[in-house]
Each structure stands twice: as structure tokens, then as C-alpha cells.
Amino acid sequence: MRPPYELVGARPDPAFEISVDGRPVPVVPGQSVGAALHAAGVRSWRSTRFGGRPRGLFCGIGVCFDCLVTVNDVPALRACVTEARPGDRVRTSAADSGTAAARAGAGKDTAGKSVAGAGRPGAAGKEPGGESGGDDEGVNGR
């Protein structure tokens, strides 16, 4: 059993599936749409209006509105506070705008690489020492 489940001694009811942009995502009953997506390795599903940048959970409690989705044709729901129900059809703006955040398979490991719609490449790159994520050592003076 996975560690958090051991920690609290959870034996959850059987999982069900919801469909997110046509792909199945497993849900433990009681989880929010956002929690289920995040747990399935899908980290982003909204595409921003101007930069077309990927967004997913940020505040996790319904105040930042970064995680908006459409559920069963009800638009602009906050995924982090919307409890998933069996049979839910979730549509994301990443799918609508054709960014790959959504095309990457739900249930896979990462949210996939974006191809279209991505404006600025994050804030990546310019910092020294970048790349390999060399861990705790490798101090760069500045």
C-alpha cells in the first residue's frame, strides 16, 4: 500500500473513473477533480488567455482560480474544490487551445511537453548551473 494510505490506515471505497478531455482518470471517491488529476500525474490543464501558458493547481483551496475546468458543460469550475462524481466529463482549456498539457495521457507520468500555444518558455534557462539539477552542492557565487 502507498505510504500516505498506510499512514492513516485508509481502505478507500473502490475507485471510479472520470473522463478528462476524453481520457479516463481514476478517482478515489471523495477526491476533487483537481486532486485526482494531480495524483494521476497531470500537472497542468488550463491554458492562459494571453501567453497560452500551462496551469494546474496552485493554491489548492479555491482562491487562485488557476485550476478552472468545465465539468458536464458547466464552465469555470475550480477543479480543486469540485468533488468528482462517477461519469463526470471534464473539459479543459488546454484541450480547447490545443496545447499538449491535455493531450498527454492522463494516468501517465508527466503532463507531457507542450507544442503549441506556449509563449515564453517559463522562466527557464537563464540561471547558471541550470540543467542537471545538480543537487545540494555546486554553489555558484554571484
Partner 1 sequence: MTRVYDLAVIGAGPAGVAGALEASLAGLDVVVIDAAPRPGGQYHRHLPGSFHALRPGALHHGLERFMRQWEALRSRAEILLGHRVWAVERTGGDAAGGTAGAAMGAAAGAGDTADAGDTVDGTVGATTDATVTVRCLAGDREERPRAVRARALLIATGAHDRPLPFPGWDLPGVLTAGGAQALLKGSLVVAGRRVVVSGTGPFLLPVAAGLARAGADVRGVYEAGGRFGLARHPLLAAGKAAEAAGYAAVLARHRVPYRGRHAVVAAHGEDALTHVTVARLDADWRPVATRTVACDTLACGYGFVPQLELPVQLGCATRRDADGTPVVAVDAGRRTSVPGVYAAGETTGVGGAELAEAEGRLAGRAVAADRGRRVPPLPALARRVDRLTAFARALHEAYPVRPGWRDWLRDDTLVCRCEEVPLSAVREARRLGATDARSVKLLARPGMGWCQGRMCGYAVACLAGEDPAAPRRPIAQPVRLGDLAGLEHPPSEG
Measure the CA–CA gap between 1 and 99, rounded to whole angstroms.
Answer: 35
Q: Other C-beta atoms within 10 Å of 19: how many? A: 14
Out of 25, 82, 92, 103, which residue is the one contacting partner 1 (CB under 8 A)? 82
- Taking the complex as a whole, how short is the minimal distance between the CB of residue 19 and ligand FES, in angstroms? 20
- Taking the complex as a whole, how short is the minimal distance between the CB of residue 45 and ligand FES, in angstroms? 11
Q: If 0-12 CB within 10 Å is exposed, 13-18 middle and 19+ buried, where does residue 4 land?
A: exposed
- Taking the complex as a whole, how short is the minimal distance between the CB of residue 38 and partner 1, in angstroms? 6
Cβ(13)–Cβ(29) under 8 Å?
A: yes
Measure the CA–CA gap between 33 and 25, rounded to whole angstroms.
Answer: 9
Residue 67 vs 118, nearer CB to ligand FES: 67
**Does 39 interact with ligand FES (rule: CB under 6 A)?**
no
For residue 73, the partner it binds in partner 1, ligand FES, none, with Cβ less than 5 to 8 A by kind, is none
The three-point CA angle 64-68-74 to 5° equals 135
Out of 19, 28, 98, 105, which residue is the one contacting partner 1 (CB under 8 A)? 28
**In the complex, which residues of this chain contact ligand FES (CB under 6 A)?**
34, 57-60, 62-67, 78-80
